[in-house]
């Protein structure tokens, strides 16, 4: 985005505020915000984080701590704390003598993240097959059917958050706390990339078809197939992000 514009447009502010009200609790849960941050800091993190994830705040956009303090009717201290947390999570960049801005991931950074993510999720899929109860697989089926409806009606944001919820549920079923901890450590930066992937032409339908194939593997109790399908789905997401980054360049 052109650096001549210091902050996001007013429409982005309004839309992102509404989005934060709807999906903020998911973000707070993912980052355990309320366990380690005061509510106002958590709210600012939710607002900025969701704006970046859903694309209302674009790579290179400036984040004015003064404007954010005015918007949230606070001092600049909680704003600075929120921005520092977002920097730790890889969503924004804070450099000396420059205002914070939305991070622009490099191709190498994205590939490194997805190389790790691909293998972790494949392991998770195997564990789901081993450990899921019939009732839990029925719940997965219900969720995938709803995701099909969202995909068929082109609801990218709603599909995305349904996918996030499904994956969180699956990793809970997998029951490996170390695996979940590592995935959670990549949480925010992967959420941004996953949303960008789903925005690309044809990706929404491809994604839901991947989930339907994975569901059948879970139902058939085929751990090897589930792992291969999960790895393939993650690789397809990476390829879509690579194409997006190429166009940005």
Q: What pLDDT is stored for residue 4 in this prediction?
A: 36
Quick check: 170 pLDDT over 90?
A: yes
Quick check: 36 pLDDT over 70?
A: no
Q: Which CATH architecture has domain 10-102?
A: Orthogonal Bundle (1.10)
Domain range summary for the chain, segments of one domain joined by +: 10-102, 107-248
Which among 14-18, 150-154, 180-184 has the top mean pLDDT? 150-154
Angstrom distance (rounded) from CA 99 to CA 193: 23
Mean pLDDT of all residues in the chain? 86
Quick check: 46 pLDDT over 60?
A: yes
Which homologous superfamily does the CATH classification assign to the domain defined by 107-248?
GntR ligand-binding domain-like (1.20.120.530)
Of the candidate ranges 1-15, 96-110, 131-145, 207-221, the one whose mean pLDDT is the lowest: 1-15
Quick check: 39 pLDDT over 60?
A: yes
More confident site: 121 or 4: 121
């Amino acid at each position: 985005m052109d650096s001549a514009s210091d902050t996001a447009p007013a429409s982005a502010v309004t839309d992102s505020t509404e989005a934060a009200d709807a999906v903020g609790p998911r973000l707070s849960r993912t980052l355990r915000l309320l366990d380690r941050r005061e509510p106002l800091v958590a709210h600012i993190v939710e607002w900025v984080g969701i704006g970046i994830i859903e694309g209302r705040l674009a790579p290179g956009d400036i984040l004015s701590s003064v404007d954010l303090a005015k918007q949230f009717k606070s001092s600049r201290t909680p704003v600075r704390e929120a921005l520092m947390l977002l920097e730790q999570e890889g969503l924004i960049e804070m450099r000396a003598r420059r205002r914070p801005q939305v991070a622009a991931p490099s191709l190498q950074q994205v590939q490194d993240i997805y190389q790790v993510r691909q293998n972790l999720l494949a392991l998770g899929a195997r564990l789901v097959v081993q450990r899921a109860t019939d009732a839990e697989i029925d719940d997965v089926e219900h969720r995938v059917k709803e995701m099909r409806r969202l995909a068929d009606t082109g609801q990218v944001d709603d599909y995305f958050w349904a996918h996030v919820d499904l994956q969180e549920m699956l990793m809970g079923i997998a029951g490996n706390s170390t695996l979940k901890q590592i995935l959670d450590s990549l949480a925010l930066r992967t959420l941004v990339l996953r949303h960008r992937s789903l925005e690309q032409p044809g990706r929404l339908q491809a994604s839901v078809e991947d989930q339907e194939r994975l569901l059948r593997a879970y139902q058939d109790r085929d751990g090897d197939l589930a792992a291969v399908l999960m790895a393939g789905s993650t690789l397809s997401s990476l390829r879509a992000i690579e194409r997006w980054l190429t166009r940005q360049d």
